[in-house]
Chains A and B, each alone.
Chain A
Amino acid sequence: MTLLLATLHQILQMLLVLTLAPLLTGWVRLVKARLVGRRGPSVLQPYRDLLRLLRKEVVLARNASWLFRSVPYMMFTAIWLAAGLVPVFTTQLALAPTADLIALIALLGSARFFLALAGMDTGTSFGGIGSSREMMIAALAEPAMLMIVFSVAILVRSTSLAEIADFMMSGAVGLRISLALALIALVMVAIAENARIPIDNPATHLELTMVHEAMVLEYSGRHLALVEAASMLKLLLYMALIACVFAPWGMATAGSGVAAALGGMVVFVAKLAVGGTLLALFETSIAKMRVFRVGEFLGGALLLSLLGAIFLYVSRGV
């Protein structure tokens, strides 16, 4: 019975993240437009964009291989699965014991690995520029992310996201300097991983500054729709992750009924709205940085997270 319920929650969650992801992106775009004094498109515009892309034909570069054509599916699946692993409205999920936070990071790493390969498949210079920069950013963001995981895992004594959320909700943690450091580092990593300002600009097509956009420049039609949807999902995933670890309140737990699950969904949407507004505020108030300053930014994130982990390693026996 419990397993059945957990499976049901899991399927619901997979559908929920899929439906909400374009809405979140639309919301961020709308708030950003309002902040700079434009009216901005409707919140539903990302859905329309995706549908339009799906209806268009695919234009493939002459020497694109099977890898180029299958990567959008692979990366979308990996990110979709990863988004399904982060508890958003309930901690009772069927897949929780199969993959922990470390596996989740590695799943996102797989998606990036294959997308970077796809960027190099067409043999154009833009794909290469995007792939090489993306891998440089990842080389710093991934260890920072793992250090954040270490901090949280040592506090909670588990790397399972469901257990982390349960523990954080119980309020047994209190305020901790390590958690504050981890939160700052996680926000920095999330900005870099989602190609947001000041690391990258999702709206740019200027060749000197493109990172993510350069990598996917040769994609079109349904492939591009998948790649775009995957980045929307990834943004939602990181917001859900931050919410799950640092603000898990309102989530349903094991044994709480249907009403709690429904309440969890409403609270989650509210959290996304707040997160999206904060992101838009941050992005409009800061300038894009040079590509080679990114190393310093993410190196800072890595050091902050390492410092947080060291504090915990020293201060706590298991």
Chain B
Amino acid sequence: MGLVVSAIAFLFAVAVAGAVARRLPQAPTVVYGGTAGACALIALWAAVRLAGGGPDAALVLPVGLPWIQAHLRADALSAVFLMVVNIGGITASLFGWGYERAHHDRHGGSHGGSHGGTQDGPVLPLYPLFLAGMNMVLIAADAFTFLLSWEFMSLASWLLVLSTHREPETPKAARLYIIMASFGTACLLLAFGVLATAHGDYSFAAIRAHAPAAGAAALVVVLILLGAGSKAGLVPLHVWLPLAHPAAPSHVSALMSGVMTKVAVYAMIRVLFDLLGEPEWWWGGVTMGFGALTAVMGVLYALMQDDVKRLLAYSTVENIGAIVIALGLALVFKAAHTPVIAALALAAALLHVVNHSLFKSLLFFAAGAMLTATGSRDLNRLGGLIHRMPTTAVLALIGAAAISALPPLNGFVGEWLLFQAILNAPALSAWSLKIEIAVVGAALALATALAGACFVRLYGIAFLGRPRSRAAGEAVEVGRAMRLGMAVPAVLCVVLGVLPTPLIRLFEPALRLLVEAGPFDGRAYQPWFWLAPTSAIGNSYNGLIMLVVIALLSVVLVLGIHRKASDRVRWSIPWGCGFDGPDPAAVTQYTASSFGQPIRRAFGSTVFRARDHVDMPAPGDTRPARLSVTWTDPAWVVVVEPPARAVGWLAEKANRLQFMTIRRYLTLMFLALVVLLVMVAVTQR
């Protein structure tokens, strides 16, 4: 525990160093080297703690408010998330180091070196603070420390978003982000307030010891879903996420999307499974419903985006939906006293937390690499990058296949476990839940299939085909540090897909803590390379054998074909419908919007009121025909606009107070005094 706290203190020291020395050329190396080291230390500590077991590490620091100290504690659940956050931190530091240098060179060149780049000034001191904040949330063991760390994490990430303030969309994104973050913290504050009301003790141990009354517990569930849900990106509170995450520099986007949303998931698990005690069946029902809505809506949004990073942010919304579905299922089964299935669902949730942090970081890094190489993140200006950036293309392909849940990669294993849990729903007693779980299962399957379409679109448009702009045609592969930063999560995606069982074994202490069972309980023979969880309906899966068989069959096939078949190859120009100039704009290949058109038409016309408008000139008119697509965001209409209108209306009314005569002001003050006196008189009696 002392190790973790010292590593966090070291992160603060690195931040100070970054602030002081940010003009020096060695500053990025110091900062990113320092953060990578600190993260590696914490991740290692967490892995050892999970593998070796042992008592929880706890520490009480005499800081904070005078009458309460800061309680810190790292149990098995914290350790799982510490591992996720810090592995994300290591790869992001690695990638960020190369990314900053690439951008430093570019901007330094164009500005004559006077400012040392437009970005790296504010990023360097804030980046370690952001990592420190996330780590502190995970080890906080009282409500005060938790909220303080939470807010610290939010503000650090908000400032990181603002570091690109020169881009036109950033101020709007940052404003929405700070509003939603404040809203989320307010909800969490109220939730902890309700939890601690009965006894006035804010430490988690005391909250855990006193289970709240049914009404209070219900209120806490709703507040946590709002508070942590807004941070994680639950629909319809996700509106800020796809604006804010892409606005930050790419390695910070990766951390925000891949890792910070997981800290919000941690908050949900901590309160719903740990602090609140025995759950009621409807908690899981509500959670799952939100999860299903989030999963389907998230991926439908993602299919409509042309901005690579925004697409990835919406895909995060989808994956959070899948994780929240798993959490809801685990709650349902925990309430139904089938702890082994609850453990199965919770293991699926944790596995997807790890998986998503890996492939989402990888894909955001790939987006960063594209941005570095071409200066654009608009899909319609990319294309053909597989020829110009071969390594990035291979690694991004692994990420795209993993996030589309293709075997034998890791995304599939998480999906598979979750489906196994869903298949156990007939054992439940409540009819409404059974029907809901069947529908949620269908929604999850739909979201998975749509995610496949979404990433075919992303990869096909950005990396394949012909360049859609001159910059894409002249892109060069990114540096070694950035490639390494992408390679680490890519390798982990493959390894975890082939051998998921050791990782799930690592989760077992956390699962026993939360649902008092493990996913492999009651099965006698469990080799480490085999995934066969205990469940009434179910089966086993073995990614390793699948991979080996696929490799064998491929070898047989390639040898067979090349022995028998002709191996002559002729290169030729494909038929381009009459257009085939060197000008990228005149190529008749598919664009991002044309690829999305069938799905937009099948789903978007009802959900988003998406409409295609064709402007067809009359015969003889020489102006070009135009096709434009319009769509409205239902979440924006429901969640953002009414409060914004109400605030505007109130501000308009309150504005009058500024333009009154002195006589009226005195009257108002007198009236206020009278009202207060009356209140005192009434309450004192």
A residues near B (Cβ < 8 Å) are 14, 54-63, 65-67, 73-74, 76-78, 80-81, 95, 97-100, 102-103, 106-107, 109-110, 112-113, 116-117, 119-125, 127-129, 131-133, 135-136, 138-143, 146-147, 150, 153-154, 157-160, 163, 218, 221-222, 225-226, 291-292, 295, 302, 306, 309-310, 312-314, 316-318
Contacts and interface: CB of A to CB of B under 8 A. Distances in A.
A160 B539 contact: yes
B540 A98 contact: yes
A139 B549 contact: no
A57 B569 contact: yes
A225 B460 contact: no
Interface stretch (B57-65, B103-111, B448-456): B448-456
Contacts of B448: 142-143
A143 B422 CA distance: 14
A124 B539 contact: no
15 contacts: A14-B553, A57-B570, A60-B570, A73-B558, A109-B449, A113-B456, A120-B595, A123-B465, A131-B590, A147-B442, A158-B539, A159-B539, A160-B540, A163-B539, A226-B561
A56 to B, nearest CB: 6
B380 to A, nearest CB: 13
B405 A106 contact: yes
Contact of B401 (A58, A110, A302): A110
A139 B427 CA distance: 29
Contacts of A159: 420, 423, 537-539
A292 B598 contact: yes
A117 B542 contact: no
A58 B419 CA distance: 42
Interface of B: 383-384, 386-387, 397, 401, 404-407, 412, 415-416, 419-420, 422-427, 431, 434-435, 437-439, 441-442, 445-446, 448-450, 452-453, 455-457, 459-461, 464-466, 532, 536-542, 545-546, 549-550, 553-554, 557-558, 561, 564-577, 587-590, 594-599, 601-602
A98 B570 contact: no
Contacts of A60: 569-572
Contacts of B464: 65, 67, 117, 120-121, 123
Contact of B568 (A58, A132, A291, A295): A58
Contact of A113 (B404, B416, B553, B577): B404
Nearest to A211: B598
A218 B576 CA distance: 12
A69 B565 CA distance: 15
Nearest to A76: B557
Contacts of B424: 318
A63 B460 contact: no
A103 B448 CA distance: 13
B426 A312 contact: yes
A59 B590 CA distance: 22
Contact of B445 (A117, A128, A147, A226): A147
Given A57-B570, A154-B423, A103 B541 contact: yes
A131 B550 contact: no
Contacts of A78: 550
Contact of A306 (B384, B439, B450): B439
A120 B590 contact: yes
Contacts of A302: 442, 446
A109 B536 contact: no
Contacts of B565: 54-55, 221-222, 225
